[in-house]
């Protein structure tokens, strides 16, 4: 709902926008609103500035300071450029460089060029991809080119009316402290017209450089370097058939190229192959949702594919399905992560290519099955807060202290994985190759991916997870979520779903409380985060995590059965407990009046 402020102030802000917005398409939108005196719409577009958060910008596209448009993007880039000029890492020639990429969304190319030209106007050489590219390639290019900063214009899997702007630092990872807060302060201080240079002048001065296909070649070579059994792909790649969908996004060019050059047969869903920011064939271009892969699954059945895969619009996350007894079975993000950990760590240990002190990284809400698999293969496991910037923080620390170990791979439950160290964010291109390779590896031994997953369950126990999200609309939404978290902290449950709570972990207070003895340990060495975890006596884990960017709270639950329990028995027992946990969560919502 729009927040109503003084109409004169609204009109003043709207006229300011019209004065400084150079793109006629967006300027005319606001001029027409002023002419019609459309107060409600003006209020929604101007009651506040679109917030530049720790990761960048994300919002609805349109004219106004509370929208994504060229002026808002230019002002954000002006603030970012000021921080880079003062604190950016310089390249070997002493200069400052920026890399800019964009995805398939509305106006992404416009926003990307605007970003590059503001960098150029500030004397920072901008390297711009000439057409859409995946987010992981932006991260790779920042590192490869020795750039100071990177920006990718994307709103990931948000609805078509959204676009966004994510910022990366010189190590190719999303910005974190202290740069994040400092950049936000610089952006807030920008007013008036940002520095500007025309495209032709920037080209002539060498301040705007378009990247060519060499960067694609380097990225593809990097992906192939991550292979565990390259000879298997060379010799038997043609034995595998994959049905793939980029969900109208950026993934097709590189996924098809990588897998095709490895000899794997790739059949891409034709009506979803071409980039289209309207995402016309899906409700949501999110590979976490089964409906997004519906067409790929239908084509996979017709083609008798060995595996079905889909990537999200900026190709940093991947979903997969494999043949089962009753057709294709979708793998959860937790299951695919466990399979990748088993294949990469186990395969490299078998071949003698595993580092002396291998490290696997997961988030605190990711299945503990991955920990057991990784530790079995000799890896040290690091837990991080949710968000890939935290995984990149571990990588940064290992770069500085190699004696602590070598990062091999990591991921989070929401279908994001990173294999190797040449990218510092989720990378669905490399994950697609590795998923294909692990499927081929099992196929070459007369087994399926599900066969291997069931073997992991037999060895380490059956694990299953659920996630329950709830929005709280209206101005009271954030307060309602805060009250729920306060209640859970002040009066933590003694039991959940009939199972006693053993430990309460508070990631905001950095404490672990033993429910039976009341002993409190300050033993959580992670950045403060508004997350609570309840560890039950049967080792089930229930986590509560409010969103930091929208009025939403997520509950995560993971339940396991003992190793050796027959699969059907284990699955039945686990699902009964998960259903009871779900009921408990709904009771918490009901207690605070959630609809």
- CA atoms of 127 and 245, how far apart (whole Å): 29
Query: Using an 8 Å Cβ cutoff, are 112 and 153 in contact?
Result: yes
- Chain CA centroid to CA 90, Å: 28
Q: At what angle do helices 70-87 and 108-121 cross, to 10 degrees?
A: 40
Query: Using an 8 Å Cβ cutoff, are 438 and 445 in contact?
Result: no
- The set of residues, in sequence order, having a beta carbon less than 8 Å from that of 325 and lying 6+ positions away, is none
- Chain CA centroid to CA 50, Å: 21
Query: Using an 8 Å Cβ cutoff, are 472 and 354 in contact?
Result: no
Query: Using an 8 Å Cβ cutoff, are 288 and 330 in contact?
Result: no
Sign of CA pseudo-dihedral 50, 51, 54, 60: negative
Angle at 105 between CA 100 and CA 108, to 5 degrees: 35
Query: Using an 8 Å Cβ cutoff, are 389 and 368 in contact?
Result: no
Query: Using an 8 Å Cβ cutoff, are 241 and 304 in contact?
Result: yes
Selected catalytic residue, list 139, 156, 414, 529: 156
Helix, coil or strand: residue 99: strand
What single-letter DSSP state applies at residue 49?
A: P
Reported in sequence order, the residue ranges of 47-93 that DSSP labels E, i.e. its strands, are 56-60
156 is annotated as an active-site residue: yes
Which DSSP string corresponds to 283-328?
S---TTSGGGGHHHHHHHHHHT-SEEEEE-TTSS-EEEEEEETTEE
Q: Write down the residue that tokens 């002993």 correspond to.
A: 519
Alpha-carbon torsion angle 16, 19, 22, 24, nearest 10: 100
Give catalytic residues, as residue numbers.
156
């Amino acid at each position: 709902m729009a927040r109503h402020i003084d109409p004169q102030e609204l009109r003043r802000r709207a006229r300011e926008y019209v004065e400084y917005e150079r793109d006629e398409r967006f300027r005319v939108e606001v001029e027409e609103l002023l002419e019609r005196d459309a107060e409600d719409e003006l209020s929604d577009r101007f009651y506040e500035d679109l917030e530049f958060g720790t990761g960048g910008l994300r919002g609805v596209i349109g004219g106004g300071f509370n929208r994504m448009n060229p002026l808002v993007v230019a002002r954000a880039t002006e603030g970012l450029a000021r921080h880079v000029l003062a604190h950016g890492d310089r390249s070997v020639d002493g200069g400052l460089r920026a890399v800019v990429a964009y995805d398939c969304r509305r106006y992404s190319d416009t926003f990307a060029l605007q970003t590059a030209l503001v960098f150029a106007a500030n004397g920072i050489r901008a390297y711009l991809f000439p057409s859409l590219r995946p987010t992981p390639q932006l991260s790779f290019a920042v590192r490869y080119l020795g750039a100071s900063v990177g920006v990718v214009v994307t709103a990931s899997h948000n609805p078509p009316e959204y676009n966004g702007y994510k910022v990366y630092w010189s190590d190719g990872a999303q910005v974190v402290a202290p740069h994040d807060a400092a950049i936000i302060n610089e952006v807030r201080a920008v007013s008036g017209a940002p520095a500007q240079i025309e495209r032709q002048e920037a080209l002539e001065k060498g301040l705007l450089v378009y990247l060519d296909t060499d960067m694609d070649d380097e990225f593809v070579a990097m992906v192939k370097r991550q292979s565990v059994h390259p000879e298997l792909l060379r010799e038997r790649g043609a034995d595998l058939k994959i049905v793939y969908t980029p969900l109208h996004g950026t993934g097709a060019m590189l996924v098809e190229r990588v897998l095709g050059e490895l000899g794997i047969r790739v059949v891409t869903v034709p009506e979803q192959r071409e980039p289209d920011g309207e995402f016309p064939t899906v409700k949501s271009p999110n590979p976490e949702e089964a409906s997004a892969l519906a067409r790929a699954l239908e084509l996979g059945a017709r083609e008798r594919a060995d595996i079905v895969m889909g990537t999200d619009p900026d190709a940093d996350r991947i979903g997969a399905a494999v043949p089962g007894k009753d057709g294709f079975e979708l793998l959860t993000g937790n299951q695919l992560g466990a399979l990748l950990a088993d294949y990469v760590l186990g395969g490299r240990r078998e071949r003698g290519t595993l580092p002396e002190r291998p490290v696997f990284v997961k988030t605190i809400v990711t299945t503990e099955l991955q920990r057991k698999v990784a530790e079995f293969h000799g890896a040290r496991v690091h837990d991080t807060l949710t968000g890939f910037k935290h995984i990149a923080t571990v990588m940064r620390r290992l770069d500085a202290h190699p004696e602590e170990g070598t990062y091999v791979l990591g991921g989070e439950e929401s279908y994001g994985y990173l294999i190797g160290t040449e990218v510092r964010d989720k990378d669905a291109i490399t994950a697609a190759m590795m998923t294909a390779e692990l499927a081929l590896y099992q196929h070459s031994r007369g087994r399926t991916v599900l066969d291997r997953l069931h073997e992991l369950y037999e060895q380490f126990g059956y694990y299953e997870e659920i996630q329950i999200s709830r929005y709280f609309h209206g101005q009271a939404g954030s307060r309602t979520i805060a009250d729920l978290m306060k209640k859970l902290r002040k009066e933590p449950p003694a039991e959940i779903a009939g199972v006693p709570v053993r430990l309460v972990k508070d990631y905001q207070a950095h404490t672990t409380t033993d429910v039976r003895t009341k002993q409190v340990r300050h033993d959580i060495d992670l950045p403060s985060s508004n997350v609570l975890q309840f560890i039950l006596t049967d080792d089930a884990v229930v986590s509560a995590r409010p969103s930091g960017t929208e009025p939403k709270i997520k509950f995560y639950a993971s339940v396991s059965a003992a190793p050796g329990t027959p699969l059907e028995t284990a699955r039945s027992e686990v699902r009964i407990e998960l259903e009871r946990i779900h009921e408990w969560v709904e009771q918490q919502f009901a207690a605070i009046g959630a609809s």
